[in-house]
Amino acid sequence: MINSKKALLALEDGRTYDCRSFTGSGETRGEIVFNTSMSGYQEVLTDPSYRGQMVTMTYPLIGNYGVNPEDIESDRIQVSAFLVREYQAFPSNFRADSTLGDYLKSQNIMGVEELDTRALTLHIRTGGAMRAFISTEDLNPESLVKRAREIPSMAGLDLVKVVATRTPYYWEEGKPNPCGNIALNQSVWKHRGKKRSVIAFDFGIKYNILRCLEAAGFEVLVVPADTDAETVKAMQPDGVFLSNGPGDPEPVTYAVETIRQLLGYCPMFGICLGHQLLGLALGGKTYKLKFGHRGINQPVKNLLTGRIEITSQNHGFAVDTESLNPSDFEITHINLNDNTLEGFRHRKYPVFAVQYHPEASPGPHDAQYLFDEFKRLM
């Protein structure tokens, strides 16, 4: 194959895997995780929640429908490397305008194939997500394992600052519309219609979340992660949305404090990292999962209705159920694979959150009601 180069993957625990790069020479590092989705690889690549991670796809054939400009979740590829069993270099799809390999190369992201992804996934399930290094230049196992062990741990890092927008923008007609910091200086947010107004905190927000908020009838202003509570209150929104994002929630102390100051001001809805930050703001605790939840087939039980939702998830941390005071919180959703917390709402404040991604539509519409619930609270 053109540009195919022999490569070696090394994990911090000493395990190595032979593979080949289908994007040419190079080397990269990151936390290695796996995703069980059978499709949606372009959404995975561009999801900011994967920042700094090497993603292994468990489905064996990847790249068969190419890539296109409509299925992105941010303005760039976020993963540090993309690992597959078999790469399909000749896609067949009327929407495709590029191959996966060319897409990765255009942003200097390493793509790896001929990797035993089944063995690697089983190893990660046993040993947990860990640091890893891939190289086409250094093929010495001992050297590469040493380099993997020298990678700083992602726990305790604030990755939100890396992926979040630095300036606010409106989300209109399916795309961002830059408005500059003038929007944050208005004493009252100028509503341009009769729609409910939502300020969406960008901790690494996915475009499809914004599409769903717009489809639900909201006027949406996306603001930087470090926007303070006074600025939000000055704009007088009808609701506040807390987005998904990468990494450990505990270092994002500025967001936790802002959320705490906004409690009771207006309805709040959190997804993924937003769920974890809201839990911290309300006095809860978070912890790192062994290998995380990443895929589009996670079963979640809605305790309010008894229904089972098939959900999309991408997170390595979770809120500790035992840390939440039952007199203040109502647990609304649990994961049926491991009984971890998937959703809660406050008994006093008009706030609720879920750990999974309702906008990703794996069900395909099992969780769309959450956006309607957000509107109802307003």
* Residues with catalytic function: 272, 357, 359
Largest CA distance in the chain: 63
- Count Cβ atoms below 10 Å from residue 219 Cβ, excluding itself: 20
CA distance 46 to 104: 11
Whole-Å CA distances, 355 to 233, 292, 324:
26, 12, 15
CA distance 165 to 148: 30
- 3-class secondary structure for 256-267? HHHHHHHCCCCC
CA distance 39 to 29: 24
Whole-Å CA distances, 283 to 52, 319, 326, 328:
28, 11, 12, 10
Beta-strand pair 130-135/5-11: antiparallel
CB 206 within 8 A of CB 48: yes
The encoded tokens of residue 51 equal: 């920042």
**Residue entry with tokens 């006027």:** 219
Which residue, 272, 12, 278, 26, is CA-closest to 141? 12
